Chain A
Amino acid sequence: GAGVSQSPSNKVTEKGKDVELRCDPISGHTALYWYRQSLGQGLEFLIYFQGNSAPDKSGLPSDRFSAERTGGSVSTLTIQRTQQEDSAVYLCASRPGGVLVVEQFFGPGTRLTVL
């Protein structure tokens, strides 16, 4: 079946603009994650959705970052008033959601460049 997809693949924006990044998880996966990968760094957790529960937003770096997940499927990560330090690859992952299923399946990421 289809894997996790993300769009756009690349996004270039100007400082101060808002951007929206989209993630389509694998069908039926109830858990969805967003990670940020800055140059030369590992992946940094941002936010986690699990079914209808309140999302775990503990990794969001500032209130300029927000995310939503509509209908338990597609998720959008929004960055308001982008800054140059927001430049990174944003990766989305999904998981079936069962307590015994731990593997996360990653999308190809969106490379964000803030000029």
Chain B
Amino acid sequence: AQTVTQSQPEMSVQEAETVTLSCTYDTSESDYYLFWYKQPPSRQMILVIRQEAYKQQNATENRFSVNFQKAAKSFSLKISDSQLGDAAMYFCASLSSNYKLTFGKGTLLTVNP
């Protein structure tokens, strides 16, 4: 079974600053994917970034990047130049070979103007 842990229930950041959200996971599989999803108050889950476990290079999508430490089973999300629209609940998730997602409990990000 897979587990995903997000140890920060809430985080805050000043607009234009950088923030890092933490995530650790546990899996017995050798092939897996990791994701960060954003959920604004509209409830719509939006994929922010994904990482294939077999890739050593950290994924980057514009202002969003990850620090993937496979041996430590750590997968943190860095948001650079934070914007007011980044305020949301962020979920870390892992995908196993049976294509089911396992989610952490989420981190509520507040962006202060």
Minimum CB distance partner of B35 in chain A:
A103
Report the minimal beta-carbon distance from A18 to chain B, rounded to whole angstroms. 23
Q: Is B43 among interface residues, defined by CB-CB distance under 8 A? A: yes
Whether the pair A43, B42 counts as a contact (CB closer than 8 A) is no
Q: Tell me the chain B residues, 32-48 only, with Cβ under 8 Å from chain A.
A: 33, 37, 42-47
In the complex, chain A residues whose CB is within 8 Å of the CB of B37: 106
Minimum CB distance partner of A101 in chain B:
B99
Q: Is B91 among interface residues, defined by CB-CB distance under 8 A? A: yes
Interface size on A, residues (CB 8 A): 25
Interface size on B, residues (CB 8 A): 23
Q: Is A40 among interface residues, defined by CB-CB distance under 8 A? A: yes
Q: Is B111 among interface residues, defined by CB-CB distance under 8 A? A: no
- Interface class of chain A by DSSP: strand
Q: How many Cβ-Cβ contacts under 8 Å join chain A to chain B?
A: 53
Report the minimal beta-carbon distance from B38 to chain A, rounded to whole angstroms. 11
Whether the pair B99, A42 counts as a contact (CB closer than 8 A) is no
Complex Cα spacing A42 to B101, Å: 11
Whether the pair A48, B91 counts as a contact (CB closer than 8 A) is no
Q: Is A23 among interface residues, defined by CB-CB distance under 8 A? A: no
Minimum CB distance partner of B9 in chain A:
A40
Report the minimal beta-carbon distance from B31 to chain A, rounded to whole angstroms. 11
Complex Cα spacing A42 to B45, Å: 12
Q: Tell me the chain B residues, 95-113 only, with Cβ under 8 Å from chain A.
A: 95, 98-106
Whether the pair A45, B100 counts as a contact (CB closer than 8 A) is yes
Minimum CB distance partner of B47 in chain A:
A103
- B: which residues have CB within 8 A of A? 4, 6, 33, 37, 42-47, 50, 91, 93, 95, 98-106
- A: which residues have CB within 8 A of B? 31, 33, 35, 40-45, 48, 50, 56, 59, 89, 91, 93, 95, 102-104, 106-109, 111
